[in-house]
Each structure stands twice: as structure tokens, then as C-alpha cells.
Structure 1
Amino acid sequence: MKVGKIIKVSGPLVVAEGMDEANVYDVVQVSDNRLVGEIIEMRGDRASIQVYEETTGIGPGDPVYTTGEPLSVELGPGLLEAMFDGIQRPLEEFRKLSGDFLTRGTKVDNLNREKKWHFVPTAKVGDKVIGGDIIGTVQETPLILHKIMVPIGMSGEITSITEGMFTIIEDICVLDGTQKIQMLQKWPVRKGRPFKKKLNPDVPLLTGQRVIDTFFPVAKGGTAAIPGPFGSGKTVVQHQLAKWADTEIVVYVGCGERGNEMTDVLMEFPEIIDPATGESLMKRTVLIANTSNMPVAAREASIYTGITIAEYFRDMGYSVAIMADSTSRWAEALREMSGRLEEMPGDEGYPAYLASRAAAFYERAGKVICNGSDDREGAITVIGAVSPPGGDISEPVSQATLRIVKVFWGLDHALSYKRHFPAINWLNSYTLYQTKMDHWMAENIDPEFAKNRAKAMTLLQEEAQLQEIVRLVGRDSLSYEDQLKLEATKSIREDYLQQNAFHEIDTFCSLQKQNKMLKLILKFYDLGVKAIEKGVYLKSIEKMPVREKIARSKYIEEAHLEQIDEIAQQLEADMNKLIEEGGILDA
């Protein structure tokens, strides 16, 4: 092991000389405490190292030991239900060794080397396999079958494979008599795992959130950003997506989050019951916690750790969602390290390579055909929260993100102040997957779904213009048709777009229910327009008792959706009755 010598310490940045044999992104051990660090710049024999632990007490002359390996994560059984820090050190094991706060220099294996797992072969002796092929399975949790794959780069004929209880470092399979395979694999975090082919993302990631699924859907294998000021509900939206999105694996990265918010996540997730299976949500979740008081350099690494773990499960053929909360704090870590390296700053002090680093992260999303002999499909959907200072999305991190992602859920402080949640502003949010999703909705839900969505969005946009007039000259100056339009859009906003994350029924809404609810509200508008044309009083329409039932349709259970059809029939009957009774409009 080559030994260098420290010549400068600047917070988490350490400069060492005598490192001519090392390479950029190699992992090193700093000082006699063997603190974990990573080389981020080489100049001659001098290496600039970002240290992932507290550097207090380290000074010039202390040794630096090179390992010759890049920063890597350990992949294998034991990932699910675990809570890791930014460089995949298990927090529970840390707590057992050193208490509630991380003690620097503490060494612990990323994955448990002693626990035995029941390995069941799915391949047999004589089979020819290549990198990515599944050779067996381990029932890691009641929800997830962990598929053991041939490491990338290995291939050959199976000469030995054994069923039984093994640790992750014991040999379970031998290729060509010499190549031994264990359940444990390692992969460098900054290098994307390979795949055969990237596919067109054409299936929506269903979240159960009406404003997202109906108006701004994201595709499985797509990318989305949630920019918004503090307190506008980014974290709650991500919790809802983690809980309800129809993915098989969730990777949640708390990147520079407040400690109390991550505590909420760590306490709540084990208690949340996965609605599809009745088991704890943690049974299919990996948590990566790097709070704002943890070393800043590890924050920069945390999202790479998360996406690499997500790629590993994608390669098994699973659909994975990774939540990064928040990439603004990841960018702040980049800015701090860039400043200590004395690099030329870009906008607002962020490094010039901010946009390319963000793109490199988001581009690891996608729906792919995985490596291996079979053509199994896997997908990673990346959903990143952005916390622009003061809610100003013209700042560099938001702009760099919006140039890359295809879905923008713009959170609005004014909406959250009015207690409208999720506070996604329907006038400035967008999705670039709309055409593909409309095709899917027409084939799988309702041929009229796209038309109804477009009609509802048009009404909402027209409402914004009418509200300007109302503010100037009052509502009574509007025509009866326009006043009815305001009533209908109020119903869309309050009864459809608003959704209570803490109500046992309203927290999740299936696409079938969304379709029926939207049709019901639009039916009220269409019938109301006809009634006004026939001379019915607007106040008579506004005071119809059935409107209360329309407003409460969001609380109808999924098993009783026929009740929404009954409300639609009652609405039509009541409106026809109003028309028959007649009503002469005020002059």
C-alpha cells in the first residue's frame, strides 16, 4: 500500500503529496485514524482528497494510504430494510458500536458478513451463463425475491452450484472450474451499471395522486423534479410517492436533509403498511440518510450511492423509484468542495460543471432491457426535490435540473398557505410524457380520458383569466356561463386536485376512480351550461343538493365506485327536473 503525506487541510479537503501512483476517484485512508476519503483532483504527485469524516485534529505530515480502488457500494442480500449513510455505512451497526453519533475512524462492513441466507439455484450444472444472468434467488423479505446474478464481465459454464444457507462471502457457484461466484458484488458508484438497450418509457408510474396521475404523469423509467420553497410540501409529496407509487423497490435518499425530517422518515416508514401486501413498507425500501450535520463530502456521494443500488435492483428486472431529497443540498456540497479546490466559480458560486453532474445523475434513470441471456425489463424512475432559496426557480440548480428532467411539479407557496395540498401549481407545471401517457390511458382506462383531462385544464386556465376580471369589477359583472365556469373550476380545485395525505381513503385514488370523478365534475358543468341556455336560474344550479355528493365523492371507497355512477345519474335527473320546472333568468 503506497503511503503519501498530508501537506494541507482545508475542512473536508485534504491535499497530500507522494501520490503519483494514485488515480482520480480512488479511495484513500487518511491519517492513522484511517478516515475514508476519495481523490477528486490530481496535480503531479499531489492529490486533493475529499474526506467523508470529520477532519479535526488532522495536520500536515500525517500519512495517507492509497487503496487503488474507486469508491464502491456492496450489493447483495441485506440491502432492503437497511438504513445507510452517504457512503453506505450501516447506521444501525454504527449505533451499536459508537452510540447515537458517528465516531470517526469506526470500521464496519457495509453488508452483514455473518448472516446466512437461503440460496435457491435457478440454474444448473452445465448451463452456460454470461454477466447479468440470474443463477439463483434469496427470499430477502416477504415482498422481494432477491435475484443473484453473474457479476458483469464474468461468463462460462457452471461446474458447481449448491442450494443451502450461505453468507454473502461464501462461494455458491463455480464457472469453468475456476471462477467463483459469491452473493456479494461491488460496483463503483460513479459508473453506471451497463444494460443491453434503453427502451421508450411508455407506461405511467401510477402514484394515486390525482393532480399527478391525471394532469402531470411521469413514465416508469422517467425523470421528474419537485422544486418548491421551504414548507410547500416537497417531502410529503415524496413520502406519498414512496408509499403509493406502483414500483417494487423504493430507494429514498435524504441528501442534506434536516435531522428531524430524516428522523420522521426513519420512524414513519417502518410503520407504514404497504397497501398492496399488508407488510411494512420498509420490506421493499432502502434508506440513505445524510443529514445536514453529517460531513458535507459524504452528501455529494450519497445520490451516487442511491442510484447505484437502484441500478442493481433494476438489473434484476424490478421497477425502482429513487427519491432524492434534496438535490439543492447535494449541489451545495459540490459548491463547497469546488470552492476549497479554488476552481473558477460559475453562477452563484456553483461550479461550472454543475449542469453536467446533474445530467449524469438523472441520465441513469430509464426503462431498459437488462444484461443477461433473457430479455427481462427493468426501470428506474428518478424523482428529485429541489429547494431553491426563496422559491426562486431561476437559480442555477433549478434551471440545470429543468433542462434535464421531463416532468416539472412546481410547488406553490401561495397554495400551501391556503392549505391546498398537494400544492402543485397546475398553471406552471408540465409533463413531456403527456402524448405517450394519453395513448396508454385510452387503451387501458377510458378512450375519453385525454379529452376530459384537456377540457379540465382548459377550464382551469380560463378560470385564472376570469379571476383577474373578478378582482377588478366583481363576480356579478360576469355572464351566467362564466359564473358557472367559476363554480365548476372551484369543484375541480377543491374536490379533485386537493387530496388529503392523512385521510385513510383520500390518501390514494386509483385511475378508475380519478376517471369517474373527473367525468362527474365535467358532467355538472356541461349539464349546467345546457340548463342556463334553457333559462334555469344560476342560483338554482348552485344550490342543487347533489353538489354535496359530488364534493364528497373523493371519500368513496375503491370497492364501491358504482356510487359515483349513481351520483352522475342523480345529477342528470335533478338537472332535467330543474329544466322541466323552468326558470326565467334575471333580466
Structure 2
Amino acid sequence: MNSVKTGKIYGINGPVIYLKGKTGFKMSEMVYVGKEKLVGEVISLDKDLTTIQVYEETSGLTPGEEVEATGAAVSVTLAPGILNNIFDGIERPLEKIADSGGAFITRGVSVDSLDTQKLWDTHITVKPGEVLHGGTVIAEVQETHAILHKCMVPPDMEGTVISVVSDGQYTINDVIVTMELLDGSRKELTMMQKWPIRVPRPVHHRYPASVPLITGQRILDTMFPIAKGGTAAIPGGFGTGKTMTQHQIAKWSDADIIVYIGCGERGNEMTQVLEEFSQLVDPRTGNQLMDRTTLIANTSNMPVAAREASIYTGLTLAEYYRDMGYDVAIMADSTSRWAEALRELSGRLEEMPAEEGFPAYLASRLSAFYERAGMMQTLNGSTGSVSIIGAVSPQGGDFSEPVTQNTKRFVRCFWGLDKTLAYSRHFPAIHWLSSYSEYLNDLSGWYSDYVSPKFVDYRNRLMALLNQESSLMEIVKLIGGDVLPDDQKLVLEIAKVIRLGFLQQNAFHKDDTCVSMEKQFKMMDVILYLYKKSRQLVAMGMPMSVLKAEGIYEKVIAIKYDVPNDNLQLLDLYKKDIDDFYHRVIEKNA
């Protein structure tokens, strides 16, 4: 015990404390602060001054109290039991904390991150004499109904297996494999490993984006797709639907695992997530959605330093499952609150502020966060991905503020939410003119092979019609719509069909909440066929008033509700309806 390095508190400034003199502490080392052993991290070292940020409430701390080093960086525990669990920003399980300390997190609470008593049915996958490298799978555990947990050799280890236990029930702390390292020393491996949250887990190499993350949301999958291993930002003002959009992606996307980070959000929003997710049935497995979800809850009333750490905690958990070969999607809600935590800590440290008071290193922190996404070949040769979808909450919905602008530099997918759309009940309120996706070209080969060679062309034609509508609406606002020629009136009518029938989606309708790529393509096909036939009629001199009187446009808008997802053949009948409408108009006006 005498070798433990300690120091004494000299000054306290909110979550930041100072120690005078030489402490022997290391940069980014985890420490225990005061009598209650509050968790902290060394963030600055000087010859005579050590600065520590504390991840818990510091009221009641006094100068002179002792700070104790742990010798290790702030790390997370990686083992079976992460899924179907809810943690705070530094991976303490909230359920366990509630059992020991009640509804509010008490300070200095010390609980194991994962259940160390639970016995897991374990299948050992290595034999004595095998040479193991970092990332090699040594055991398999059915963690939940949906996910097989693969226990791996820590990334920085290599050696030969000396002995293994037989298949059976073990806790995460039981030794299951003993190996001899290259230097001749012995290492006992359990199912558990620790990893520092600020260090990306190593991989073999990164693949370019080539496979989309299918979300079931038409405006995302068709208009502004994100790749598996991609990055996206959802910026929007209060009430525009950032959290709901992330919920929809979490519920319906084809990611294997969801890591939801509630970073500085309101407590009632996180409660809604917990209640909703625990009741939802996973459409892929028929089991609970929580079976493949883990939640990091750091609400707005929790200590600000832990909010800054929560993003990295969630990322490290995601990278761990990626190393097993899974596709993981991270929902970070919201990175603006995280940036505000950086700003507050930076202010306490008396650093020189940059734009709007944010620290000068805001851009590099954001880039380091988003750079940890990607589709990777892992150390054991499997392929896994981490996709990051970060919500941004610009104050007053102003997209020119620093967090939105810097995020835009590092993400390749921008889903701009529009308050006008949200207040007119058009959801998802992603505006097609302020949003973009740089993944479209990368994914065009996948669309061509797995959906249709015409897919990207159809998508571009819909976008062109929406852009034309935007230009025409400027004229309509100035002099009214009656002066437009019929071909331009038709563009406005078809753009309305695209907006209401395709882009708008009802999260509470059983057939519209999640839509397959095949249905999305067939809906585009019907809309463009309607446009083609209508254009032929207008070219014959038929007025738009006659075409609108037939009610075909409203019928096509209602496709999303009228065609069940399990009976897409009905979509083919709509072309017949359009042909009937075409002939009917000609006969009536002959």
C-alpha cells in the first residue's frame, strides 16, 4: 500500500481541483478524490501543479483532503453483461446504484460496472498449444437472445495457450485460459478486459464505405443515405425531432447493436427512451429490442465532467462489439451538450476561449470523435463497423454556430431538421434542400446490385423535381400560382406527391414506420410513372385543373398507408390505375 501515490487538495473550482507540489501522477490517470473516493482524471500536469477533473459532485470537498492515484487511465470494463443494461457516463450501472443509493446518484458510490456473480454458459474455442494474437476469440457466451458475445485476447497480447478450462458456467472474473507470453511470463485470461476510453481500439485496416445502413426511413435510405461505418449529424432546433429520428433509426436500422448515449439531455427524455426500448420488440429477432441495446445515460443534472467522458465510454463499448464482427450504431444525443461541457471545463481551467466561448480545441475533439467510426477489418480477421449518428442542438436553430459548423467538416452525411416542417407536422422534418449525403456515389454499386440499376437515377429525378419546386415557389409567392403554365403547375403537383407521399413518414403507422428498400424503389417508380403520363397529357393541352379533378394524385400519396409491407404486388396495380386515369382524361376531353 505504501507505493500508492497521493497528493493533497490545494484548490477547488467546481468539478476541477488542484494539487500543489510533485505528486508523481500521470497524465489521464484515474484518481480517487477525498474521503468519499470520488472518481477523477488527471487533465493537466505541471512541475508544481496537478489539475484533476472530478466526475462527481464536488460540494463538501475541502482543501487538504487526500487524492489517491490508481495507476491506470480511466477505463471501461468489457465483458458479457454490457447489453440490456443502463450505465452512467463512467460505466456505473444505474440499476445497481439505485439499489444501493436510491433514485439519485449518491457521491462516491462504488459498484462493479458489470455483474461479477452471474454465471455465464461458456464455450471455450481454443486448445492448449495454439498461438494466440490480440483479438483472437477464446470463448463464446450467449449474452442475450440476439447477440453471441465473443471473449477475445486483449489487443496488445500474444502467446501460446498452456491450459484451458472445460465448457461450463463461469463468472466474468474466473480464469478460463492460461497463456505463456512471448517474454516467457504467464498470463491468466478471464472473460473481462479493461480498455482506456480515450484510446481507439486497434484494428487491422479500414474499408471504404460500400454498404448502406438501412434505416427503413425513406428520406434517409433513398435521398441521404449513410454507410455502415459512416458518420451523420442531425442538427435542429428545439422540438424539430432530433431524438425521435434517432429513436426510429435505433428501432429499425439493420445494425446488430445500438449504443444510445444520452449526453446532457433532459431526464424525462432518457426515461422515455428506457421505457420505450424495454417494451419494443426487435423486428429482426422477435425478442426485446433491449437485447441488442446498451444505454449510457448522462442527463443534464449529472456532473458536467462525466458528460464529457460519456461519449468516449459509449464509443469504447461500440468498438469492443465491432471487434467481435458486429455492425454497431451509436446514437449520440446530443454532441452540443457535450461541447457545452467542454466549454464549461475549459472556462474553469481559464483557457483562452475561441468562438462563442468554446475552447480552441473543439474542432479537434469533434474530429477525433467522428474519426473513430468506420467499417474495419478487425485483428481477428472479421469485419465490423461503428456508425456514428450525432444530434446537434444549435441554440435558436442557428446552423452557423461553431458546433454545427465544425461537425459539418467531419461528417459526410448532414440531415438538417427544419422547424417550419416540424411545426407543420411534416416528420421526419429533414429538409431536402439543406441536407446532403456524400455516400451516394460510394453506395450506388450496392443499390444497383441489390435494389435496382435504376435506383440512383430515380432518386436524382425526385431531387430535381423538388429543386424545381423550390424555384417555382419563389415565383408563386410573388405573383401567385395561377400565372404559371400547366407544365410548371404539374411540377408543383408532383413535388407535393413526393413530399407528402414519399418524404413524410408516420412513425405510429404499422406499415409506414419502417419501409423496405424494395417498397421505397417501387413507390418512386409509381410517382415517376404518374409524372410521365401527366406530362404527356399536359403536352396534349390538357389543363392541370382537369387532371387534379380525377383524384389520382391523392391516391398515389396514400400508397404509404394503403399498401401493406407484406403485399408489395399491390404497387404494380397502381400503374394500371394511372393508365386508366390517362385514357379517361383523353376520352372525356376528346
TM-score, scaled to structure 2: 0.97
> Is the CA contact (8 Å cut-off) linking 1:3 and 1:18 kept in structure 2?
no
User: How far apart are residue 124 of structure 1 and its match?
Assistant: 2.2
> What whole-Å deviation, never above 9, does each CA across 1:307-340 have from its counterpart, x for those lacking one?
0000000000000000100000000100111111
Residue 187 of structure 1 pairs with residue 187 of structure 2: no
Q: Equivalent residue for 2:539?
A: 533
Correspondences of 1:320-331 after superposition (within 5 Å)? 320-331=328-339
Correspondences of 1:347-496 after superposition (within 5 Å)? 347-372=355-380, 375-496=381-502
Q: Distance in 2 between matches of 1:246 and 1:189?
A: 26
> Is the CA contact (8 Å cut-off) linking 2:267 and 2:299 kept in structure 1?
yes
Q: Distance in 1 between matches of 2:239 and 2:478?
A: 31
Q: Distance in 1 between matches of 2:586 and 2:281?
A: 49
Match of 1:475, SS? coil
Q: Equivalent residue for 1:517?
A: 523
Match of 2:529, SS? helix
Q: What is the total number of aligned residue pairs between the two structures?
A: 581
User: How far apart are residue 581 of structure 1 and its match?
Assistant: 4.1
Q: 2:36 aligns with which of 33, 37, 61?
A: 33
User: How far apart are residue 576 of structure 1 and its match?
Assistant: 2.6
Letter in 1 for 2:7: G
Residue 266 of structure 1 pairs with residue 274 of structure 2: yes
Extract unaligned runs of 5+ from structure 2: none
User: How far apart are residue 401 of structure 1 and its match?
Assistant: 0.6
Match of 2:254, SS? coil
Higher mean C-alpha displacement, 427-436 vs 534-543: 534-543
Letter in 1 for 2:172: I
Q: Distance in 2 between matches of 1:142 and 1:393?
A: 42
Q: Equivalent residue for 2:72?
A: 69
Q: Residue 470 and residue 3 in structure 1: after superposition, are their counterparts in 2 closer, same or farther (change >3 A)?
A: same
Residue 562 of structure 1 pairs with residue 569 of structure 2: yes
> Is the CA contact (8 Å cut-off) linking 2:497 and 2:553 kept in structure 1?
no
Residue 48 of structure 1 pairs with residue 51 of structure 2: yes
Correspondences of 1:536-555 after superposition (within 5 Å)? 536-555=542-561
> Is the CA contact (8 Å cut-off) linking 1:74 and 1:185 kept in structure 2?
yes
> Is the CA contact (8 Å cut-off) linking 1:12 and 1:296 kept in structure 2?
yes
Q: Distance in 2 between matches of 1:19 and 1:288?
A: 36
Q: 1:125 aligns with which of 128, 148, 161?
A: 128
User: How far apart are residue 503 of structure 1 and its match?
Assistant: 1.3
Q: Equivalent residue for 1:103?
A: 106
> What whole-Å deviation, never above 9, does each CA across 1:469-497 have from its counterpart, x for those lacking one?
11111111000011111110000001110
Extract unaligned runs of 5+ from structure 1: none
Q: Equivalent residue for 1:252?
A: 260
Higher mean C-alpha displacement, 15-24 vs 294-303: 15-24
User: How far apart are residue 19 of structure 1 and its match?
Assistant: 4.4
Q: Distance in 1 between matches of 2:274 and 2:566?
A: 32
Q: Distance in 1 between matches of 2:403 and 2:177?
A: 46
Q: Equivalent residue for 1:333?
A: 341
Higher mean C-alpha displacement, 439-448 vs 356-365: 439-448
Q: Distance in 1 between matches of 2:36 and 2:303?
A: 16
> What whole-Å deviation, never above 9, does each CA across 1:227-261 have from its counterpart, x for those lacking one?
10010000000000000110000000000000110
User: How far apart are residue 436 of structure 1 and its match?
Assistant: 1.3
Q: Distance in 2 between matches of 1:395 and 1:222?
A: 23
Q: Equivalent residue for 2:94?
A: 91
Match of 1:21, SS? coil
Q: Distance in 1 between matches of 2:219 and 2:193?
A: 40
Q: Equivalent residue for 2:319?
A: 311
Q: Distance in 1 between matches of 2:35 and 2:16?
A: 17
Match of 1:398, SS? helix
Q: Equivalent residue for 1:134?
A: 137
Letter in 2 for 1:575: Y
Residue 158 of structure 1 pairs with residue 165 of structure 2: no
Q: Equivalent residue for 1:279?
A: 287
User: How far apart are residue 18 of structure 1 and its match?
Assistant: 3.7
Match of 1:278, SS? coil
> Is the CA contact (8 Å cut-off) linking 1:535 and 1:582 kept in structure 2?
no
Q: Distance in 1 between matches of 2:530 and 2:172?
A: 61
> Is the CA contact (8 Å cut-off) linking 2:209 and 2:443 kept in structure 1?
no
Q: Distance in 1 between matches of 2:337 and 2:526?
A: 43
Q: Equivalent residue for 1:112?
A: 115
> Is the CA contact (8 Å cut-off) linking 1:412 and 1:423 kept in structure 2?
yes
Q: Distance in 2 between matches of 1:178 and 1:30?
A: 34
Higher mean C-alpha displacement, 267-276 vs 546-555: 546-555
Q: Distance in 2 between matches of 1:79 and 1:532?
A: 61
Match of 2:279, SS? coil
> Is the CA contact (8 Å cut-off) linking 2:6 and 2:23 kept in structure 1?
no
Match of 1:424, SS? coil
> Is the CA contact (8 Å cut-off) linking 2:21 and 2:47 kept in structure 1?
no
Q: Equivalent residue for 1:290?
A: 298
Q: Distance in 1 between matches of 2:508 and 2:178?
A: 51
Q: Equivalent residue for 1:204?
A: 212
> Is the CA contact (8 Å cut-off) linking 1:204 and 1:220 kept in structure 2?
yes
> Is the CA contact (8 Å cut-off) linking 2:267 and 2:300 kept in structure 1?
yes
Residue identity (%): 51
User: How far apart are residue 545 of structure 1 and its match?
Assistant: 3.8
Q: Distance in 2 between matches of 1:13 and 1:382?
A: 30
Match of 2:524, SS? helix
> What whole-Å deviation, never above 9, does each CA across 1:213-238 have from its counterpart, x for those lacking one?
11100000000000100100000000
User: How far apart are residue 580 of structure 1 and its match?
Assistant: 4.1
> Is the CA contact (8 Å cut-off) linking 2:323 and 2:378 kept in structure 1?
yes
Q: Distance in 2 between matches of 1:262 and 1:172?
A: 37
Q: Equivalent residue for 1:503?
A: 509
Match of 1:560, SS? coil
> Is the CA contact (8 Å cut-off) linking 1:534 and 1:579 kept in structure 2?
no
Q: 1:82 aligns with which of 81, 85, 98?
A: 85
Q: Equivalent residue for 1:239?
A: 247
CA RMSD of aligned residues (A): 1.1
Letter in 2 for 1:4: G
User: How far apart are residue 405 of structure 1 and its match?
Assistant: 0.4
User: How far apart are residue 102 of structure 1 and its match?
Assistant: 0.5
Q: Distance in 1 between matches of 2:192 and 2:20?
A: 34
Letter in 1 for 2:176: I
Q: 1:7 aligns with which of 10, 32, 39?
A: 10
User: How far apart are residue 211 of structure 1 and its match?
Assistant: 0.4
Q: Distance in 2 between matches of 1:36 and 1:272?
A: 35
